[in-house]
Structure 1
Amino acid sequence: MKQLVLKVHPLDNVIVALADLPKEQPVQWNGSVYHLTETIPAKHKFTTTDLQEGDPVTMYGVLVGKARHFIAAGSRISTENLKHAASPYQLGERKTSWHIPATGHWQQRTFNGYHRSDGSVGTANYWLVIPMVFCENRNVEVLREALQDDLGYGRPRKYQGLAKELVSLYRAGKTAEAILGTDLQQLPGSGTAAERLFPNIDGVKFLLHDGGCGGTRQDAQALCGLLAGYITHSNVAGATILSLGCQNAQVSMLQEEINKRDANFSKPLFILEQQKIGLETDLVAAAIKQTFAGLVQANQQERSAAPLSKLVIGLECGGSDGFSGISANPAIGYTSDLLVALGGSVILSEFPELCGVEQELSDRCNTEDTATRFIQLMRSYNERATAVGSGFDMNPSPGNIKDGLITDAIKSAGAAKKGGTSPVTAVLDYPEKVTQPGLNLLCTPGNDVESTTAEVAAGANIVLFTTGLGTPTGNPIAPVIKLASNTALARRMPDIIDINTGTIIDGDETIEQAGERILDYVIKVASGETTVAAVKHGQDDFIVWKRGVSL
């Protein structure tokens, strides 16, 4: 029989509804019976005791809010009766012991990847075309038009035929009402992609952005660091850089950031400056020729076996719901622990979504210096947000709230489950790169794309992205694996979901079993045996964080 409710932690005074619970229905949990004062929708929580104004609400064993007014036992918590609250935190004792999972099944496993001269191993092989400043975006788009289709990296334009059919209907005299009533479910003229000229190159990616000039010098430095993270990334074979010449983000700054990340950088890197070359036609012609020559060189690289310790996995969540923190997030948390035990690296970011669990995470840092840096970054970030009239308490989106994430602390406590239980080996500020195996904390916004962009710049060669509502997000160079927190989502949006962890909610699988299944899937993706949905759809999302207030 399917379990209807779940008390996540023994100290909690709320219980999660795993299915819709009718009003006045008696609900049992661990020998106690609760009578509901109202209907509790699935993913939402009800109180186990009467709460007076100001009383704490606890979930995941931590403070997640305080009652705005009296709340009767068996009532649903909501934004009307609960306000955000989180416990204070400070530098504490080191608590780095953890339950190391059994890894015997994976000890001899490998993945087939691209070995780089710096010792890293890529799960893909891409060429990058990057503007140093937004003024060069148009020239980058010209290069995309010139290279993508002819090299076999263009995607079928399945909706082009749909537009043509609508044009035909309009020219035939059909009214707007008649056109809206026409059945266009069968998409005509889907077309096929050309065959790849370079079979060992997964694609040429064009990283458009709106930075490089006009902001602060710190923004320019951070942009160069981010771009250097992509250029030195294990999934990148080489890059073509277009510079205007007069912008804040100078080529010398980019080269400095590249050297920070790889002192012996040896990949093909072509840099063209428009103000020196002169004519746009000369710039574009030189860029096409040099890029093509670089692709010929990069195509010589082939996949070969690598240990799982060479995997660097980014941990991300977006479009979260009330099940994310009890299915998908803890499942990839177990995957995280498995990979750390095997000597690999994982990245937990989204600092606004760690609000309320700062004490636990700082205590898990392996040194006091690491813990101090985490505390400083969290406090300074929240202070910047508060200074402009915002704060971490304003992080939950309307979709989060509608599906049971009432306060930022509730959202954060569930989001932190992505990091498993292993010690924190390093704390990184944006846009630093991972150099230590184990669990790395990376300061980024909670914004899905800004955070994923930064995780990949930090070295993630695969990203595990959990969602409860459905988020079609990807990355230009790293496979982003989408995991549904609930089975209904997996069935409703199968075109963007790769893995369903709603099996945990359904009672068909434990968190540990799901975590093991996820690692098996990661190995297939890392070896190029499986193509994730975000890659199939060409979901190449890339947003630079300018270090302003973004939640």
Structure 2
Amino acid sequence: MNHQKSPQKQTSNLYFKATLMTEQPPFLCLDPSDNIVVARRFAREGDLFHSHEAQIAASERIDMGHKMAIQEIAQGEAIRKFGQPIGFATKPIQPGQWVHTHNVGLGELGHSYEFCTAINEVPKPNAERTFQGYRRADGRAATRNYLGIISTVNCSATSSKYIANAFDESILADYPNIDGVVALSHQGGCAYEYGGTDHRLLARTLAGFAEHANIAAYLIVGLGCETAQASFLAEEHNLVQLNVSSEVAKKPLIMNIQDQGGVAKTVRRGVEALKELLPDANNVQRVPIPVSEIILGTECGGSDGNSGVTANPALGITSDLLVGHGGTSILAEVPEIYGGEHLLTRRAITKDVADKLLERIKWWEDYAKLFGAKIDNNPSVGNKKGGLTTIFEKSLGAIAKGGSSPLRAVYEFAEKVQEKGFVVMDTPGYDPPSVTGMIAGGANMVVFTTGRGSCFGCKPVPTIKVATNTPMYNRMIDDMDINAGTILDGDATVESVGETIFEKIISVASGEQTKSEAQNIGDEEFCPWTPGPIF
């Protein structure tokens, strides 16, 4: 990336404040310096945008979330949205024309980085808020109460699932405080260097789930001959059964299929072992816990052109509210920070924190080149159909989830999050591994924004899904928890939706089911990240 000097402006319109209106015009201008506007609904040819200087008519159909030029834009000139460049015109564009991949390219932004120049502490609340959670013996706060089966390798995935499936309602009915038994199975665990980077990364992820506050007790299931040995996992991370009261049972339960004599015997003995832990795991009650102990993972998936206008900035308000209460908010998906990282370096509390973020950005640039790819490949087919044109545009919208709080730390994938406040975790942009990394790091709540309609859950942590637009929310109402499309409709502001999400977090952390939980979604979304080669 070219790091030459560029305009120093940082606009607050990344966290766009909508105003209530009785009749909504078809287009929305996000910043006075923008040369495009966003269609807040399907706009027909001839629909008008009224500015102070002129009246611009759409010269063609502009779909919801897509962009229309409101100025003459020369070839090579920057396209501006949120007051920031998101790409460059590949041909001359006239006012009223649709602005998208057919006439916009990535180009070079030429950012100049500032460090620690925009550190604004968020207000503290007048009164402490609490949620009804589980207080673990070691003092941590849980929002759910699961038993987990940690599969070390794909070869033990089926056995792990068989064990979990044995715990149906007929068994768990006698243990009302247990939310379920989840098999944390995956596709990896072998064919890389023993003790190498990928092996240690997987072990850190598995240990993060085993020791998660939402896991009351766990069983580790391996094959026996894999690289990701269960013994390595237990010893490397000093694993114990943190939430089991019996001293005898505190030692991790490990079963290797080859040692047990096959799949059937492993499943039978695994079921018997976990049954013995049920009374202990059930012996919990929800108690008031300060909101400061919520660790929130924020994610956006199936994004559209309105993600950075409605749901993401609303979640940014939520993030600031949580940080103000002393809690922790995680912004992940570093490939979807790319192009907007200059806004975060200004919020870093030290240059070391900013440098760590830039180091991760550089790592992703090099990682993409290693495979002959470009980070701009990140926007998916659905993203582009929803109006997102470049990774820069997507990143500026994604960063809005992080609100305006100071950036206090940057963590690597699945690293344990210990800092309070707003932090970044290095994860891929792909939703399952990204959320997996944040949960492994300790997230006990997840909020997931979506414009196209992602149906996501990830046990053992509840996921609240926020729709960016009303048509999708109505179409997928069984999967969406909150409709941020009311901002476009003129029925709510970004601030009010952000407050709604904050209140929903407290309710769900206290035991209210999310839409994904009601449908029992979340058994297949555990997805450890393995960036290196598989041999």
TM-score by length of 1: 0.87
Gaps of 5+ in 2: 1-22, 245-249
Q: Which residue of 2 aligns with 1:87?
A: 109
Q: Which residue of 2 aligns with 1:166?
A: none
Seen in structure 2, the aligned counterparts of structure 1 residues 503 and 70 have a Cα distance that, compared at 3 Å, is: same
Match of 1:46 among 68, 73, 76: 68
CA deviation after TM superposition for structure 1 residue 244, in Å: 2.3
Q: What is the number of equivalent residue pairs in this alignment?
A: 501
Distance 2:515 2:382 in 1: 23
Q: Does residue 135 of structure 1 match 2:155? A: yes
Higher alpha-carbon deviation: 134-143 or 59-68: 134-143
Residues 96, 366 of structure 1: 8 Å contact kept? no
Q: Which amino acid aligns with 2:69?
A: T
Distance 2:90 2:263 in 1: 63
SS in 2 for 1:147: coil
Q: Which residue of 2 aligns with 1:463?
A: 446
Q: Does residue 203 of structure 1 match 2:180? A: yes
Q: Which residue of 2 aligns with 1:229?
A: 208
Q: Does residue 542 of structure 1 match 2:519? A: no
What percentage of residue pairs aligned between the two structures are identical? 37
Match of 1:482 among 465, 475, 478: 465
Higher alpha-carbon deviation: 535-544 or 337-346: 535-544
Q: Which amino acid aligns with 1:415?
A: A
Q: Which amino acid aligns with 2:82?
A: Y
Q: Does residue 212 of structure 1 match 2:189? A: yes
Seen in structure 2, the aligned counterparts of structure 1 residues 205 and 263 have a Cα distance that, compared at 3 Å, is: closer
Distance 1:533 1:431 in 2: 26
Q: Which amino acid aligns with 1:227?
A: L
Q: Deviations over 1:170-190 (max 9, x none)?
A: xxxxxxxxxxxxxxxxxxxxx
Q: Deviations over 1:73-111 (max 9, x none)?
A: 22111111001245244653212432624633xx33210
Seen in structure 2, the aligned counterparts of structure 1 residues 264 and 88 have a Cα distance that, compared at 3 Å, is: farther
Distance 1:264 1:427 in 2: 28
Q: Does residue 246 of structure 1 match 2:229? A: no
Q: Does residue 117 of structure 1 match 2:100? A: no
Output aligned runs, 1:369-384, within 5 Å. 369-384=352-367
Q: Deviations over 1:500-528 (max 9, x none)?
A: 11111111111111111111111110000
Distance 1:484 1:532 in 2: 14
Residues 119, 346 of structure 2: 8 Å contact kept? no
Match of 2:284 among 301, 309, 315: 301
Output aligned runs, 1:291-440, within 5 Å. 291-440=274-423
CA deviation after TM superposition for structure 1 residue 8, in Å: 1.2
Seen in structure 2, the aligned counterparts of structure 1 residues 341 and 452 have a Cα distance that, compared at 3 Å, is: same
Distance 2:393 2:113 in 1: 23
Distance 1:277 1:474 in 2: 33
Q: Which residue of 2 aligns with 1:11?
A: 33
Residues 64, 86 of structure 1: 8 Å contact kept? no
Seen in structure 2, the aligned counterparts of structure 1 residues 435 and 264 have a Cα distance that, compared at 3 Å, is: farther
Q: Which amino acid aligns with 1:536?
A: A
Q: Which residue of 1 aligns with 2:506?
A: 523
Seen in structure 2, the aligned counterparts of structure 1 residues 309 and 68 have a Cα distance that, compared at 3 Å, is: same
Gaps of 5+ in 1: 153-195
Q: Does residue 103 of structure 1 match 2:85? A: no
Seen in structure 2, the aligned counterparts of structure 1 residues 336 and 30 have a Cα distance that, compared at 3 Å, is: farther
CA deviation after TM superposition for structure 1 residue 367, in Å: 1.2
Q: Deviations over 1:482-515 (max 9, x none)?
A: 1111111111111101111111111111111111
Q: Which residue of 2 aligns with 1:155?
A: none
Q: Does residue 445 of structure 1 match 2:422? A: no
CA deviation after TM superposition for structure 1 residue 265, in Å: 4.5
Q: Which residue of 2 aligns with 1:144?
A: 164
Q: Which amino acid aligns with 1:545?
A: W
**C-alpha RMSD over aligned residues:** 2.0
Distance 1:386 1:70 in 2: 31
Q: Which amino acid aligns with 1:69?
A: K
Residues 222, 546 of structure 1: 8 Å contact kept? yes
CA deviation after TM superposition for structure 1 residue 389, in Å: 1.9
Distance 1:285 1:26 in 2: 68
Residues 298, 447 of structure 2: 8 Å contact kept? yes
CA deviation after TM superposition for structure 1 residue 69, in Å: 1.0
Residues 143, 445 of structure 2: 8 Å contact kept? yes
Distance 2:236 2:299 in 1: 25
SS in 1 for 2:149: strand
Distance 2:475 2:40 in 1: 18
Distance 1:90 1:539 in 2: 43
Seen in structure 2, the aligned counterparts of structure 1 residues 413 and 243 have a Cα distance that, compared at 3 Å, is: same
Q: Which amino acid aligns with 2:160?
A: V
SS in 2 for 1:364: coil
Seen in structure 2, the aligned counterparts of structure 1 residues 30 and 316 have a Cα distance that, compared at 3 Å, is: farther
TM-score by length of 2: 0.89
Q: Deviations over 1:394-430 (max 9, x none)?
A: 1111111111101111111111111101111110111
CA deviation after TM superposition for structure 1 residue 392, in Å: 1.4
CA deviation after TM superposition for structure 1 residue 146, in Å: 2.4
Seen in structure 2, the aligned counterparts of structure 1 residues 98 and 4 have a Cα distance that, compared at 3 Å, is: farther
